Each structure stands twice: as structure tokens, then as C-alpha cells.
Structure 1
Amino acid sequence: MSSAEYIGAQQNISALSRIYRRSAEYIGAQQNISALSRIYRRSAEYIGGNNRITKSGGNKMKIRVASAADYAAIAKVHVDSWRETYREIVPQSYLDQLSYDEKVALWQKILASGAKVFVAENDQGQIVGFANGGKERTGDYSLYQGEVYAVYLLQSYQNKGIGKELLQRVTANLKKQKLNGVLIWVLADNPSVGFYQAIGGEKVDEEEINIGGKKLIEAAYGLMDDSSKS
């Protein structure tokens, strides 16, 4: 499964302010960001240690906790996955101006803060996806204490179960922190919306946002512990 969520720009700051609050890059600093789809899963999914091996199209995929040295690889996936996933959804001019250098600085700061980020690594040792989460940040949704801030995958690795593995690791970590109930923010035009609905996600809110001059609908899906068993 794939997903993704919020990237900021030097324009539309006031219109995008609520996007920034919810995005993965909010950790340690309210900076440009994007945050997308996430799910909640029981902590049993975490069993297996910090390095979990899964298979993708016959190839082994390693899911592990990111180290501080992974910031550049994560930044590349961040930018590239947005350009791939949101082509024809987000204005191309907005995608074109996304900066690798900006994201490198951002993820270097996030990882240095000690925030836990999970990465997917292919059998060549290349990071092809990542996800992270934490406490729900707005305080507006009392039933949902946790939030998965971001899930990003390169397009060629989407729809192969890797996103699901990343989500399981993040949500299991939230469970360990006693953050029960997870909120998922996803662009309504994102094809992964159907996945969240299928696993029991309940739509709890939506709002209109502006990315690169285009109005889009962002929907919030909530998952309680019982709905994450699938």
C-alpha cells in the first residue's frame, strides 16, 4: 500500500498552515511538509525485532529503524515519491519546485532529534520508503491519541505490501507509547483512500486545502484498536 502527506512551499503559507501542523516534518520544527495515509495495527505485528524482512515481488525487503545517517536517502524518497504519486493531482509547477536540499536539512534535523522513523530497504541496501508517527497534534479529536505523520514509497515499490509493513511498524510503536486510536489524513484524490476504508477507517472530518494554487479535499480517517485487526 502506498501513501504520502504534505510538502510546503514559499507560497500559500497561510492557506497551507494547517497542512504543516499535521505533517511528518512538524517534528522538532514547524516547517514545510506533507503527510499522508496511515493505519493502526496491534502491537503483535511488531514482533520480530527492529529489523523485519518481508518480500516484494520475490525480493527481500528490510524494514528497520532509521539511523541519523539516513537523512539524505529519506529526503530523496520524500521528494521523488511526491512527484510520482501526486502527478496529475497536485499542480506540476508545485512538484517541480520541491527541493532535495530543503528536505535533506529537514530530515537531518528530525533524525537528530531522536524521532523514530522506519525505513524500507531493498536487497541492494537502497531506502525506497519510510514512515513515522507520534502523538495526534491538534488536540481536536479526543478518540484518537496517535497519528501517523507520513508514509512515503517510491512508485515502483507501491502496491506490494511494503507500505502496509511500514504502517504496522509505526502503529505498533504508537501502541507501545499507549497512544490508542490513530488519525489518518489523506488527500481525497489519493487512490489509497479505498484501502483505509476497507480496513475499517471511519471518516471523521474533512477540509479544503490549497496546494500550489489548487483546491483539494483532505479527509481524516480514524481507526480504533478493534478495527486494526485485519
Structure 2
Amino acid sequence: MVTIRRARPGDADAMARVHLAAWRSTYAGILPEAYLAGLSAERESLDYERGILQRRGGHAGFVAIADGHEAAGDGVVGFITGGLSRRPGIAEGEVETLYLLDDFRDRGVGRRLMRAMASHLASLGAESAFAWVLQDNPARWFYARLGAKLSAREEFTFAGQRTTQLAYAWEPIHTLLTATATTRLPR
């Protein structure tokens, strides 16, 4: 069974481990191998703990906890973070991160995490939301399936190479709330 709850400072280490595992899986062959190998769990953990404690701009995180799953530490198998938009003009709320361990993809966990974040953003008064995703990320279809529309494209240099990120937006945010209202159960 997987439950979703608000992230706590003590979840930061497990969130960092999920972050690294997700990046190394998703971005293999997309981002430089040396960059992925050099990711630091300690640095990511400090960043997540700081975000949880400071709550700037309505920042919040939610974790997915699987009963009996020790591999991620404390049962954390995925998480989401977000808050009010850091970049005005695209949408009022922003999904900053959404990471899941490979074994928990396509099981409704991402959808449930998105629901928690959409509800949080709506409670802050955000009437729209968006998420950046690398153009080459094979999971970008997930956002489109949840009703997001491509709203911006941006090229930049990351890890020493040119890449493109895409902004997928839900306007109004109720589009996302409706799309995540029900979660299919794993078979």
C-alpha cells in the first residue's frame, strides 16, 4: 500500500536518494554520464531539508510511502515539490520536482502526488500551474495525459550541453484537479 503525506525534514535523505535514482534512470543517455555519476545525495538532501523548513513562496513537498519498501529508506518511493511560481508569466503555481523509483511508475503514485500538489497550490490561491520538463525526458507524456498544454519552450546549457526544456501548464488549475481526481488501482 502507498500513502501520500506532507514531507517532513526527516524525509530529506530519502528524497535525495529517490532524486538521484530517478535522474540516473531517466536521464541516462540524455545528460552526460559524468554529471549523473557526480550527483550528490548530501547536497540534494540539504536542499530538500531547507525547502521543507523555509516554505518560501508557499513551497511544500509530499512523499509517497510504500509499506515494507526499505530500498528507499523509510519507505519513501517518490515525492513532489512545488509552490508559487518562481517565474511569473507562465502560471501562478509551479510543480518543481516529481520523482518516483522505477518500480513505482505506472501505478498511480505520480497521479496521486500531482493531486496533492494541485490541491496545495489551489489552497494558496493559484489558479493555474505548470511544470518544466526536459524535452528528451521520456516521461513528459505524463503531464499531457493529465491535461497539461505546452506553454513555453526554453533552450539553455545544462551540464555542459545545450538542451531544451518545455513548460506544461494547467489553466485553470481545476484541469489538473479533475484529471487527478481518481487513481486507477494496480492490478
Q: TM-score range by the shorter chain?
A: 0.7 to 0.9
How many pairs does the alignment contain?
169
1:216 alignment partner in structure 2: 163
Q: CA offsets per residue over residues 35-92 of structure 1, 9 Å max, x none?
A: xxxxxxxxxxxxxxxxxxxxxxxxx001111122111111111112111111111111
Quick check: 1:104 aligned with 2:33?
no
Q: Secondary structure at the match of 2:42?
A: helix
Q: Structure 1 length as normaliser, TM-score?
A: 0.69
1:93 alignment partner in structure 2: 34
2:64 alignment partner in structure 1: 120
Higher relative contact order structure (alpha carbons within 8 Å, sequence separation ≥ 6):
1
2:100 alignment partner in structure 1: 153
2:182 alignment partner in structure 1: none
1:111–1:199 CA distance, 2 compared to 1 (3 A)? closer
C-alpha separation between the residues in 2 aligned to 1:126 and 1:199? 26
**Which among 182, 187, 190 is matched to residue 134 of structure 2?**
187
Unpaired segments of 5 or more residues in structure 2?
69-73, 180-187
Q: Structure 2 length as normaliser, TM-score?
A: 0.84
2:13 alignment partner in structure 1: 72
C-alpha separation between the residues in 1 aligned to 2:86 and 2:53? 20
8 Å Cα contact 2:13/2:45 also seen in 1: yes
C-alpha separation between the residues in 2 aligned to 1:83 and 1:153? 12
Q: Cα RMSD over matched residues?
A: 1.5
Q: Secondary structure at the match of 2:89?
A: coil
Letter in 1 for 2:129: V
8 Å Cα contact 1:93/1:212 also seen in 2: no
